[in-house]
Amino acid sequence: MSAELAPAIQVRDLRKTYSVPEREGGVRAALVSLVQRKNREVAAVAGVSFDVPRGEIVGFLGPNGAGKTTTLKMLAGLLHPTSGEVSALGHVPWRRENDYLRRMTLVMGQRNQLAWDIPVVDSFELNRAIFRIPADHFRRVVAEMTELLDLGELLKKPVRNLSLGERMKCEIAGSLLHQPEVLFLDEPTIGLDVTMQRRIRGFIAAYNQRHGATTLLTSHYMADVEALCRRVVVIHQGRLLYDGELSGLVDRFSPFKTIVVDFASDPEFADGQLAGIVGADGEIVSQTDGRLTLRVPKARTAQITGQLLAQLPIADLTVEEPPIDEVIERVFAGEAREAEPVPAA
């Protein structure tokens, strides 16, 4: 493989185990713990492997505590893994070599690196000095950020005077001044209102298009991943549950479709008629006056739809994909049924 075609990031069997002290409440237990420490081994990341080609935007999806932030931190060089290998832009991240640090950036939702009391642009100047960005290049980048993120007059204001969304925009701008090749975004839209979330997502997509920066994004908002990532990595309890296209996720974990039927007139079901149509592997989600919602296996959708249309007085019939949010929820709740084994990356 030539250098250009090598993936930007390669992860092999990455593991991170923490030793967590365990203690019950009460004074007695507190005194005991002074002498005798009981530790519990927690596997935050339990053997994760994947590659990220250059320029790709990958979404890491998982509930809180799944291990996505821990994985991201190891890739950013902030944490040493317990075992496993990572190569990012040809570097081992946790060696924190200056050359690597100059080519990457980390943005964390709801955590600021910009100085609180001074105008944003002054914090930018600080980053400029630290990253040694030449003056004209700096001006160009700031102009680009201002345009893409619609920063307008924000740059002149101190961070404490900005709203949460404005702060996040400035944080992102400030972290891209040195035009990194790899972006690590840890929950960048958390806590923001819907409009701002959309704005930030739009920016990330536009930036990726313009500069081809490899982007790793963690989130527990499905909307982030849906909007930005063709490829999604699902992490649950430290393990990689799924790695592939978003559409494939639904196929694998929830091979169902939802059929919503609006009746033209009162259906008057015969005994067992509806059950017969739906079958043992389908389910009636809800049944109210005039509307019936069914969940049926994908394979039988056409057949069931046909039967419904033939046998019942239907005014309207819709066939929908299950909402991905719901799918993910069930995956995390452990109810997911696997149709196939995990596809190779």
Partner 1 sequence: MRALRLLWLFLRLGTLNDLQYRTDFFIQCVQSLLGLVTALAGLVVVFDQTDNLRGWRRDELLALIGVYFLVRGLIDLVIRPSMERLMEGVRLGTLDFTLTKPADAQLLVSVRQVQIWKLVDVVLGLVLLGVALARLGNSVGLGTAALFVVALLAGTAIVYSFLLILATCAFWFVRLENILVIFGSMYEAGRWPVGIYPPWLRAALTFLVPVAFAITVPAQGLVGRLAWPALLGAVALAAAFILASRLFWRIGLRHYTGASA
Under the rule (CB under 8 A), what is the footprint of partner 1? Answer: 16-19, 73, 76-82, 94, 96, 98-99, 101-102, 104-106, 108, 111-113, 115, 117-118, 122, 125-126, 129-131
At residue 275, the 3 state secondary structure works out as helix
Q: Select 16 or 201, whichever has its Cβ closest to partner 1.
A: 16
Q: Select 182 or 292, whichever has its Cβ closest to partner 1.
A: 182
Do residues 72 and 60 touch, judged by C-beta distance below 8 A? yes
Shortest distance (Å) from residue 100 CB to partner 1: 8
Q: Under 8 Å CB-to-CB from 159, ≥6 apart: which residues? A: 112, 114, 115, 116, 117, 118, 120, 123, 167, 170
Q: Select 126 or 190, whichever has its Cβ closest to partner 1.
A: 126
Handedness of CA 223, 224, 228, 233 (dihedral sign): negative
- Which of 320, 343, 345 minimizes the C-alpha distance to 254? 320
Q: Select 120 or 308, whichever has its Cβ closest to partner 1.
A: 120
Q: Select 106 or 304, whichever has its Cβ closest to partner 1.
A: 106
Shortest distance (Å) from residue 54 CB to partner 1: 20
Chain center to CA of 228? 9
Shortest distance (Å) from residue 102 CB to partner 1: 5
Element (H, E) at 106: strand 104-108
Shortest distance (Å) from residue 226 CB to partner 1: 28
Q: Is 204 exposed, middle or buried (0-12, 13-18, 19+ CB in 10 A)?
A: buried
Do residues 176 and 207 touch, judged by C-beta distance below 8 A? yes
Q: Select 118 or 314, whichever has its Cβ closest to partner 1.
A: 118
Shortest distance (Å) from residue 280 CB to partner 1: 50
Q: Under 8 Å CB-to-CB from 285, ≥6 apart: which residues? A: 258, 293, 294, 295
Shortest distance (Å) from residue 13 CB to partner 1: 17
